[in-house]
Amino acid sequence: MKVLSQIRPALTDMVAAAAPDAQVIAIPRAGDLPPGVAGEVLLTYPWAFPNLAQVLARGVRWVHVLGTGIDAFPLHTLTDQVLTCSRGASAVPIAEWVLAVMLAFEKRLPEAWIRSAPDGWSRGERGTLEGKTLGLIGFGGIGTAVVSLGLLALAGPGASPANGRRQLGTYLILALLLIPIATYGAGAAPVWLLIWFLLFLILLNVVAARLRAHRA
């Protein structure tokens, strides 16, 4: 398989290393392609480069764009090619960062790092995530990953008797505000959004009940 790449060289090299059976070919983002250059796959960004139509005519059957949104991608240039994006690829790293920042805020990091011997080793003003409310606006790939990591870290396997019989006993109330109305602008919310909100209330009660049962 031949992969044509318009992404930056460092990422192109990473793709080539991850897929040694594929031939990854770096191509220009503007101007004519070298004669004879063709490929079944195109790696590019979610916006139009000047020579996109010419590249698609070189045997491309699958176009993959880095990133999630394709609002700026010229869909009219596609014929029978499959278009995919990288939705969810960065969900876990961002979710880990969100959890790390929340903990850093509560534990006063890096201010709390010890640089000299303190007056007392058993005292310190630190916050906690226990009993706090997590509000998520939207519940896409990133929101889902944040919830998954939060439940795993605060009320998951760590509370198992097999892991030192520790009981975290944490209430994690999930306020999932599903607001998929970006495509509707500032107009009135459709009926289906109200239905989603009712389902959200049911989900919130179910999750809260399960966490209370877990603590008991």
pLDDT at 196: 67
Q: Which two tokens stand for residue 165?
A: 């019989």
Contact 9, 44 (CB under 8 A): no
**Rounded to 5 degrees, what are φ and ψ at 135?**
-105, 125
By C-alpha distance, which of 52, 47, 51, 77 is closest to 65?
A: 47
pLDDT at 25: 95
**Rounded to 5 degrees, what are φ and ψ at 104?**
-65, -35
Domain ranges of the chain: 2-84, 91-112+126-215
> Which DSSP helix (H) or strand (E) runs through 56?
helix 52-56
pLDDT at 192: 64
Q: Look up the pTM and report it.
A: 0.61
Q: Which two tokens stand for residue 186?
A: 């500032």
pLDDT tens figures, 99-157 = 888 888 888 888 778 777 777 776 667 888 777 777 776 667 777 788 777 665 554 44
Long-range CB contact pairs, 46-50, < 8 A, 24+: 46/70, 46/71, 46/72, 46/73, 46/85, 47/72, 47/73, 48/72, 48/73, 48/74, 48/77, 49/6
Question: What percentage of the chain exceeds 90 in pLDDT?
Answer: 36
Alpha helical stretches, state H, 90-179: 91-106, 141-155
